[in-house]
């Protein structure tokens, strides 16, 4: 694995060529961004999964650009090495290339994002090209696209139907031609995601898409065992939710029982 002081856009193709996996996790605040950056994560994604995981909206479609920006700012402030990608939320890019550029500029200028991501293939290729032409790196998102959950008929695994590979390839090629630096494939059956990765120049990032992509992304609360529910593809690499609940209940019981604060956690009148 090559040591890199700061992850830059050209490193993704180098990593794909060298067979070095690209690591991506979501982050929504300064503290977790700092922890993940120090752990060596290559890409931090301020996803619109902010809606379900942090803001309590229950979906991603409700998230607004104004809600995204303070979280993007907090993550970029906590990051030294990772490449920070910010999601354009539903309704902030679909209307026209001009709308996509204007929204992306806000994420870069006000949030400090290094790149933007939005969902869709051929239908948003003009938006992707306009963003890249404006000097902003673009990350695509294909397969299951949560902003279109209603149109897709729910959280459905992608790539199983007749013709699915050809449609995904056409979408991915449109984004690659538009200048995408990465493409996320979500909930795409593993052999199709691997075949797409081999057919594309642009590196791919999988989430529920098997081991054959150029890298992997997970929502950090799923990865760390923090969420009430997590998808079956999201391995728990820790049980942070259980540890946090135990810490909070010890705090409650020690404060109620008068054990906290003790002498060690109080200021005496005079220094010893
Ligand atoms: O918003 C998000 O967290 C995402 C990932 C699931 C890829 O888009």
Question: What's the token pair of residue 89?
Answer: 């939320």
The ligand 1 atom at the shortest distance from the C-alpha of residue 60 is 1
What does the pLDDT read at residue 61? 94
Cα(219) to centroid(ligand 1), Å = 7
CA of 138 to the centre of ligand 1 (A): 14
| Ligand 1 neighbourhood includes 184 CB (under 6 angstroms) | yes
Q: What's the pLDDT at 37?
A: 98
> Is 1.10.3720.10 the CATH number for 9-239?
no
How many whole angstroms from 194 Cα to the centroid of ligand 1?
20
Q: Which of 53, 46, 121, 116 is nearest to 77 (CA)?
A: 46
DSSP labels for 89-145? PTTSSSS-HHHHHHHHHHHHHTT--SEEEEEBSGGGHHHHHHHHHTT--EEEEEES-
Question: 270: CA distance to ligand 1 center in Å?
Answer: 53
Candidates 67, 84, 207: which one to mutate for ligand 1, based on the most atoms within 8 Å of Cβ?
A: 207
Q: What is the DSSP letter of 20?
A: P
Enclosing H/E stretch for 88: none
List per-block mean pLDDT (blocks of 10 residues) for the chain, which spans 272 residues.
90 98 98 98 98 94 97 98 98 98 98 98 98 98 95 92 96 98 98 98 98 98 94 97 98 98 95 70
Report the catalytic residues.
186
Those residues whose C-beta lies under 8 Å from the C-beta of residue 116, and which sit 6 or more positions away, are 85, 86, 87, 88, 103, 104, 107, 108, 131, 136, 137, 138, 139
Q: Mutate which of 41, 45, 149 to test ligand 1's pocket (most atoms within 8 Å of Cβ)?
A: 45
Is 48 a pocket residue for ligand 1 (Cβ < 6 Å)? Answer: yes
> Whose CA is closest to atom 8 on ligand 1?
47
Its pTM stands at 0.97
Phi-psi region of 225 (alpha: psi -120 to 50; beta: other; left: phi over 0): left
Tokens 């869709």: give the residue. 120
Sequence-ordered list of residues with C-beta below 8 angstroms from that of 208, at least 6 positions apart, any chain: 144, 157, 186, 187, 188, 231, 233, 234
CA–CA separation, 145 vs 188, rounded Å? 11
Three-state SS annotation for 229-241: CCCCCCCCCCCHH
Distance between CA atoms of residues 263 and 261, nearest Å = 7
């Amino acid at each position: 694995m090559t040591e890199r002081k700061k992850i830059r856009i050209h490193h993704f193709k180098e990593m794909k060529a060298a067979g070095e996996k690209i690591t991506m996790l979501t982050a929504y605040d300064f503290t977790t961004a700092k922890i993940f950056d120090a752990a060596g994560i290559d890409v931090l994604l301020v996803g619109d999964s902010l809606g379900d995981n942090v803001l309590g909206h229950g979906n991603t479609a409700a998230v607004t650009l104004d809600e995204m920006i303070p979280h993007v700012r907090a993550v970029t402030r906590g990051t030294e090495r990772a490449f920070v990608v910010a999601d354009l939320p539903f309704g902030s890019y679909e209307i026209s290339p001009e709308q996509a550029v204007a929204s992306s500029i806000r994420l870069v200028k006000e949030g400090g994002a290094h790149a933007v991501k939005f969902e869709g293939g051929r239908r948003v290729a003009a938006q992707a090209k306009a963003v890249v032409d404006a000097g902003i790196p673009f990350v695509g998102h294909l397969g299951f696209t949560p902003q279109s959950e209603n149109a897709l008929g729910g959280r459905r695994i992608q790539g199983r139907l007749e013709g699915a590979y050809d449609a995904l390839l056409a979408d991915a090629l449109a984004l690659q031609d538009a200048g995408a630096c990465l493409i996320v494939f979500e909930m795409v059956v593993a052999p199709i995601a691997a075949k797409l990765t081999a057919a594309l120049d642009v590196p791919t990032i999988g989430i529920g898409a098997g081991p054959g992509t150029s890298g992997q992304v997970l929502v950090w609360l799923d990865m760390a065992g923090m969420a009430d529910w997590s998808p079956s593809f999201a391995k728990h690499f820790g049980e942070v939710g259980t540890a946090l609940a135990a810490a909070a209940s010890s705090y409650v019981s020690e404060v109620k029982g008068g054990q906290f604060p003790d002498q060690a956690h109080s200021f005496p009148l005079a220094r010893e």
